[in-house]
Amino acid sequence: MRSTNFAPLDLSDYEISPEQGFLPQNPLGYLPDSPTLNDLGRELPKLLSARTVRRFIDEQRQLLPSIPPTWRTEDYRAAMRILSFAGHAYVWEVPDQPVETLPPQLAQPWHEVAQRLGRHPVLSYASYALDNWRRLDQTKPIQLDNMVLLQNFLGGSDEEWFVVVHIQIEREAGPGLAGLLRAMRGAAENKEDEVLLGLKSLALAQAAMRDTLLRMKERCDPYVYYNRVRPYIHGWKNSPTLPNGLAYEGVESYAGQPQQFRGETGAQSSIVPCLDAGLGIAHAPDPLTVYLQEMRDYMPPRHRAFLQALENATDDLGRPLLSGYVRDRKLRIPDLWTAYCACVDLLAQFREIHIGYADSYIHRQHQAHASNPTAVGTGGTPFMAYLQKHLDETKQTIVQ
């Protein structure tokens, strides 16, 4: 059986690589010819500790006088990172007393840079993690002991570790995505050996991702995360303290109307939705599926396009390409089914670990402290019941 809706995909067409997944090659630490913005990024943790971010920004006539015509994509991403951290620090400098309006010297360049990148002017996972790392030793690989963040809020080992664990998982996903495409291409071309090799590559990557996620509690304490890391990544949609959203002063296209954007969250990572799509795992409609669909608006456009391409890959019967191919050979080639089940099971394990962290890092902390909004995730929605439902649906995929 050949797919009627699958043309071989090339990761490089979607700003993805087999070596680093959705991570760019080497994010820029500083912007060319932008001293004020560079100073703000460098000093932000100290300004935030002193609660003088708002004063510093208010005293600047301009943070970014004009965008140089020579800027490349990586320059825009670096600017987006600094402006996004600065924007959230400005809003949440006093976490229970957010401001409702951003001054034009911050709002205007943030909006312009976001527009160039096809994103919203809010801190997203792309700026928080994908574009926010450097290697300590450039001759060594991207690993937990060779990575630090380019930008922090308050800083400290808990904040640093929380983000670099995510970055490491992104890097480990690269070979897995290449394996997934190999398996899908093999299914489209009816090459059983290629499907099997692709699934095995995917499983190896998933095992590495799971093992990295399991290390989160080594250096990120739930109490510290909840009280010192989490308050600054909230957005202004469904926010109890910013019910009307945030006004971006001087941004003409908003016509003076407050905007509502979700906060940074791992749900904006493309990895899990891509695995769901590639492995053919379906989730019945619920509030979380609606929310996850919305999260795609916060992904870099090319990553979003890749996810859509995976979802469009179907066979002649309209079934997800890879899972349909494997199911048709379940009895005749049991090794294929075994390899497929291993990938689905590893995804279920990843989800299960995540649920445990959502409970210990957020749910239990909320029960003990009334410090920030939260029977909801940082994106601004309830989560626990629906995370469990999605886990159950993942497991059910290989029971049928």
Percent of the chain residues past pLDDT 70, beyond the cut: 95
Nearest to 384, CA basis, from 400, 364, 399, 368: 364
CATH class of 11-396: mainly alpha
Please check the confidence at residue 2 and state whether its pLDDT lies above 90.
Answer: no
3-class secondary structure, 314: strand
Structure tokens at 150: 């380019």
Distance of CA 302 to the CA centre of its chain: 14
Q: Where are the domains of the chain?
A: 11-396
Structure tokens at 162: 């929380």
Residue 113 φ then ψ, to 5°: -65, -40
Please check the confidence at residue 370 and state whether its pLDDT lies above 60.
Answer: no
Work out the angle at residue 92's Cα, subtended by the Cα atoms of residues 37 and 161, and round it to the nearest 5 degrees.
75
pTM of the predicted protein model:
0.95
Q: Which residue has better confidence, 2 or 278?
A: 278
pLDDT score of 400? 61
pLDDT score of 385? 83
Torsion angle of the four alpha carbons 2, 7, 11, 14, in this order, in degrees rounded to the nearest 10? -140
Dihedral sign computed on CA atoms, order 139, 140, 146, 149: positive
Confidence of residue 5 (pLDDT cuts 50, 70, 90): confident
Cα separation of 251 and 108, whole Å? 6
Q: Which residue has better confidence, 68 or 179?
A: 179
pLDDT score of 132? 98
DSSP 105-120: HHHHHHHHHHHHHTS-
pLDDT score of 4? 55
Confidence of residue 6 (pLDDT cuts 50, 70, 90): confident
Q: Which of 19-28, 267-276, 384-393 bottoms out in mean pLDDT, i.e. has the lowest? A: 384-393
Please check the confidence at residue 269 and state whether its pLDDT lies above 50.
Answer: yes
Dihedral sign computed on CA atoms, order 60, 61, 66, 68: negative
Tell me how crowded residue 345 is: count the other CB atoms within 10 A of its CB.
16
**Mode of pairing for the β-strands spanning 101-102 and 134-135:** unpaired
Cα separation of 398 and 322, whole Å? 13
CB within 8 Å of 329: residues ≥ 6 apart: 192, 336, 337
147: β partners: 135
Chain-wide mean pLDDT for the chain? 94
Nearest to 83, CA basis, from 94, 174, 60: 60
Nearest to 92, CA basis, from 188, 231, 255: 231
Radius of gyration of the chain (CA): 22
Dihedral sign computed on CA atoms, order 210, 212, 216, 217: positive
Nearest to 134, CA basis, from 167, 157, 174: 167
Cα separation of 11 and 151, whole Å? 28
pLDDT score of 373? 45
pLDDT score of 377? 55
pLDDT by residue (tens digit) across 289-341?
999 999 999 999 999 999 999 999 999 999 999 999 999 999 999 999 999 99
CB within 8 Å of 290: residues ≥ 6 apart: none
Q: Are 252 and 261 in contact (CB under 8 A)?
A: no
pLDDT by residue (tens digit) across 195-219?
999 999 999 999 999 999 999 999 9
Confidence of residue 382 (pLDDT cuts 50, 70, 90): low
Structure tokens at 9: 């995909």
DSSP 198-253: HHHHHHHHHHHHHHHHTTGGGT--HHHIIIIIGGGG--SSS-SS-TT-BEETT-GG
Q: Which residues of 78-89 are buried (b: 16+ CB within 10 A; e: fewer)?
A: bbbbbbbbbbbb
Region 224-237 average pLDDT: 95
pLDDT score of 170? 98
Q: Which residue has better confidence, 8 or 166?
A: 166
Region 59-74 average pLDDT: 94
Burial zone of 171 (CB within 10 Å; 0-12 exposed, 13-18 middle, 19+ buried): buried
Dihedral sign computed on CA atoms, order 375, 381, 387, 393: positive
